[in-house]
Amino acid sequence: MLVPLTNSLYVPDNVVRPDLVIVDIGRGFSVEKTRVETVTLYRREVEFDNLTYAVNHMQAKLQAQQSQAGPARSGSKS
């Protein structure tokens, strides 16, 4: 197998433990996980990203609706 070091530089390598992968968990940290743990981790990340997107989208819609409604009239009774 060839492992990329840069966009144009690859080095040959052998997989010693095919059941384990190294996962970038952010801020320059990597951890060793099983394939099942890795899939679970990335599924949770995708779910979180989708939830964050939905919340941001709803906030933008709410702000747009509020700005279209204009400022509340002072002294009006409901």
> Cα separation of 38 and 46, whole Å?
12
As averages over each run of 10 residues, the pLDDT of the chain (78 residues) reads 90 91 90 94 92 94 88 56
Helix (H, G, I), strand (E, B) or coil at 3: strand
Cα angle value 35/36/38 (rounded, 5°): 65
- Give pLDDT, residue 53: 93
The answer to whether the beta carbons of residues 32 and 20 sit under 8 Å apart is: yes
Q: Which of 3, 46, 7 shows the shortest CA–CA distance to 21? A: 3
- Give pLDDT, residue 70: 74
